[in-house]
Amino acid sequence: MIDRETLERKFGSDSVKFTRGPGGFVCIEVANAAATAKISTYAAHLFDYTPAGERPVLWMSGSSWFEAGKPMRGGVPICWPWFGPGAREELPAHGFARLSQWEVRAVESFENGTVTRVVLGLTPEQVAKPELVAFAFDLECEFWIGRSLTVALTMKNCSDAPVVVTDALHTYFAVKEAEAVRVRGLDQVGYEDRVVGAPVVLGHVQQGDIRIDREVDRIYHSTGAVEIYDPGFNRTIRVEKSGSAATVVWNPWIRKSHAMPDFGDEEYHSMLCIEAANASVDARTVFPGEKRRISQTVTVL
């Protein structure tokens, strides 16, 4: 059991408080000179990031679950050690990292209190359902909260055999009106269309900016930074990344959002997922003792 008071004594400061957040999970609330943020220790789930003087950058559903054993809808779910549906029916979508209680490993302050680093960790013993764990690992999630936000996930393969993992930092961005948004940076990039029922066409290539005018569920391959231009909020959000070969772009649109119990019927207008990922053909083989890191940095320009 993770004890809020002990964590507060050990890691608390003027800019970092340990509270009981939604669902009763221990929550780390950061309020430094450059930004505020909230991280649930359950799921290592960042669900609020607001740079000083800006509106919130991340979107959270008003219908999200905050319940052990279920994922949260919004913020930055950590998808690991697999992205997408499990290989077998009993394996949860997007892996077990977002369904586990993590431990707090470090909280530090840098650059005259304008940057806070929070480090959470997960090991196999902490996974609620041990039958989901196929190999020994150490997983660490770092949050750098300041004028920019960086989320970095580092895995170490502690087993004696190579493992194949897929992963994603499944970031939900708040937008004024998804239909008006343009996503720049993926022009001429090839992608897989994952919309269920969409014709399977090989060789999709993005033409120009991405517009959200239907259900969008795509894995773009060999990608770099993208920008979300949001005329409604009059802002551009830059999303940079490293250790990630793919970018997932997702908006469930009407049919799918109606089908999801933890997603409001009209909420698809106000969100857009841009996910730094290693997914599908970009699965990574991680050798015994090897460490792999994926990170995403978000800046409101």
- Give the Cα separation of 267 and 74 in Å (integer): 11
Subset of residues 154 to 173 that bind ligand BG6, contact rule: CB under 6 A: 170
Shortest Å, Cβ 43 to ligand BG6: 11
**Nearest alpha carbon to residue 63 among 259, 215, 267, 251:** 267
Shortest Å, Cβ 196 to ligand BG6: 8
Shortest Å, Cβ 20 to ligand BG6: 24
93 makes contact with ligand BG6 (CB under 6 A) = yes
Q: Which is nearer to ligand BG6, 93 or 205 (CB)?
A: 93
4 makes contact with ligand BG6 (CB under 6 A) = no
Location of structure tokens 């009981």: 20
71 makes contact with ligand BG6 (CB under 6 A) = yes
Q: Under 8 Å CB-to-CB from 87, ≥6 apart: which residues?
A: none
Q: Which is nearer to ligand BG6, 138 or 193 (CB)?
A: 193
Q: Phi/psi of residue 163, each to 5°?
A: -130, 150
Q: Phi/psi of residue 130, each to 5°?
A: -60, -25
Do residues 165 and 80 make contact, with C-beta atoms less than 8 angstroms apart? yes
Do residues 101 and 129 make contact, with C-beta atoms less than 8 angstroms apart? no
269 makes contact with ligand BG6 (CB under 6 A) = no
Q: Which is nearer to ligand BG6, 16 or 267 (CB)?
A: 267
**Strand-strand pairing, 35-40 and 45-51:** antiparallel
* Three-class DSSP category at 281: helix
- List the structure tokens of 82: 């697999």
Q: Which is nearer to ligand BG6, 23 or 288 (CB)?
A: 23
Q: Which is nearer to ligand BG6, 38 or 170 (CB)?
A: 170
239 makes contact with ligand BG6 (CB under 6 A) = no
Judged by CB under 6 A, the residue of 4, 94, 241, 269 near ligand BG6 is: 94
97 makes contact with ligand BG6 (CB under 6 A) = no
